[in-house]
Amino acid sequence: MKYLLSIATAFLLSACVIPTLPAYNYNGETKNISIPKEGEVNTVSLGEDLLQQGQISVRDALHFETSVNITRYFTASAGDYFKIGENDKGQYFDATSTNGSSIVRGAMGNNAMALMVTKENKVCVITMQMAALVCDNSLVPVIQPANAVTTNNFQQSLIYNGRVGNKINIGYRETSGNLARPAFSNNVEYDLSVSNIIAYKGARLEVLNATNQSITYRVIKNFNSGLDKTTNADQIRGLNPIN
pLDDT, tens only, 138-181: 999 999 999 876 555 678 899 999 999 999 999 999 887 656 55
From CA 187, how far away is CA 170, in angstroms rounded?
A: 6
What stretch of H or E contains 5?
Answer: helix 2-14
Question: Is pLDDT of 102 > 60?
Answer: yes
User: How far is the C-alpha of 86 from the C-alpha of 103, rounded, in Å?
Assistant: 20
- Kindly tell me if the per-residue pLDDT of 113 is higher than 70: yes
Q: What is the pLDDT of residue 110?
A: 80
What span, in angstroms and rounded, lies between the C-alpha atoms of 8 and 60?
Answer: 34
List pLDDT tens digits, range 10-53.
Answer: 444 444 445 689 999 998 888 777 889 889 999 999 999 999 88
Quote the pLDDT of residue 132: 87
Distances (CA, A) of 12 to 20, 101, 105, 205: 14, 26, 15, 64
What is the per-residue pLDDT for 179?
60
Percent of the chain having pLDDT more than 70? 78
Q: Kindly give, in sequence order, each residue whose CB lies less than 8 Å from that of residue 233, ignoring residues fewer than 6 positions away.
A: 35
